[in-house]
Amino acid sequence: MLVNRFKQMTLVAFLMLLLSSFSSADFINEPKEIIDANANAAVQQFYKDVRGGKAFLSKVKGYLVFPSVVKAGFVVGGKYGEGVLRVNGKSVGYYSIAAGSVGFQMGAQKASYIIAFVSQDALDKFIRSNGWEAGVDGAITVAKWGANTDISTISYKNPIYAFVFGEKGLMYNLNLEGTKFTKINR
């Protein structure tokens, strides 16, 4: 019994250490001007990192930009970030992204996410929702591309795609299933 207690305390200490590596909670409750500025920087980075990214985003019906999503875990984990929904290049709403999970996972990561709505129907459902959950309210396909792939030339058949880029840190197990998107007031 003492061994189990020691393992639990070690696990809690390790998780706290992981979370403290991203202790600057400056991405929580930021004013919309800061979210917009950070989203602009993330979109510019996306254009730089992803060949054809600018042309692709100009074709989609709308997209969410989460400039900084922090994910950490060791068996139990979670992620959180705040971002903006853009339609026709204009900010139309602010959202949080959050998820909790239990299972095989280990590490800590900070990354930028762009969730692109290829279908007008998918975008409309997202906007009308009061808390949208990936895998329940709609499926998000995590886009995979090679270094020489121009993503604007790919035929996208699914209604929603996610791009994860600018990763810092290492996190095993990338999954958006169960991720909750909630409108926030800014």
Question: Which tens digits make up the pLDDT trace of 72-106?
Answer: 777 777 889 999 999 998 999 999 999 887 776 67
- Give the integer Cα–Cα distance in Å for 98 and 180: 5
Q: Decide if 6 is inside a domain.
A: no
Q: Decide if 12 is inside a domain.
A: no
Which residue range is the domain that position 53 belongs to? 28-184
Per-residue DSSP letter, 51: T
Q: Decide if 15 is inside a domain.
A: no
Terminal Cα distance for the chain, rounded: 49
17-26, 80-89, 126-135, 177-186: range with lowest mean pLDDT: 17-26
Spatial contact of 94 and 82, defined as CB atoms under 8 Å apart: yes
Average of per-residue pLDDT across 10-27? 48
For 36-69, the pLDDT digits (tens) are: 999 999 999 999 988 899 999 999 999 999 999 9
Q: Decide if 20 is inside a domain.
A: no
The confidence score (pLDDT) of residue 57 equals 95
Structure tokens at 183: 């409108």
Q: Decide if 7 is inside a domain.
A: no
The confidence score (pLDDT) of residue 11 equals 52
Q: Decide if 154 is inside a domain.
A: yes
Q: Tell me the one-letter amino acid at 80.
A: Y
Q: In the chain, where do the E strands start and end?
A: 62-87, 90-117, 132-133, 141-142, 160-172, 180-184
Give the total number of structural domains in the chain. 1
Q: Decide if 71 is inside a domain.
A: yes
Q: Decide if 10 is inside a domain.
A: no
The pLDDT-based confidence of 21 (bands split at 50, 70, 90) is very low
pLDDT at 7 over 60: no
The confidence score (pLDDT) of residue 125 equals 93
Q: Which residues lie below 8 Å from residue 2, measured CB to CB, with a gap of 6+?
A: none
User: Does pTM top 0.85 for this prediction?
Assistant: no
